[in-house]
Structure 1
């Protein structure tokens, strides 16, 4: 007997376009199309690869605390942290 219902394997699967995640596919497609419209297709492909890999890396980490990490490592420490922990002298302790 054939069922009329489709049950996904997992409920939290992301939407896909072909075999890629939809958000990654749209980002790469945007850069390739921008490069093609500006008559610089190779530059568009290079930017698509760079931004696609960068976005995939951020997505793997989950983006949790990203802004805080950026502020901690690259922000001026004497303004908001303390003058004793300069940003050039910080050590990664773990999280």
Structure 2
């Protein structure tokens, strides 16, 4: 069974940056003012910062709103036709 999932490169980059931010927060949690750095890992902080980074980058790049980036082509409507008729004597009618 072949299963192919297409991920837009910009969306992939946004997720990769978010995961990197989450990993950095997980590995090196920030200490509060006047506190020593924490020796243990910060899993909730890492997950929260990864989700926040992905959300902020998605809003900045305009992703995730459900619209496609390419305009949709509607083949059901005919192309517009312009017709110009001159009513003055001595002039020609132009049709396109």
Q: TM-score, normalised by structure 2?
A: 0.37
- For the pair shown, the structure with the greater C-alpha radius of gyration is 2
Q: Which has the higher helix share?
A: 1
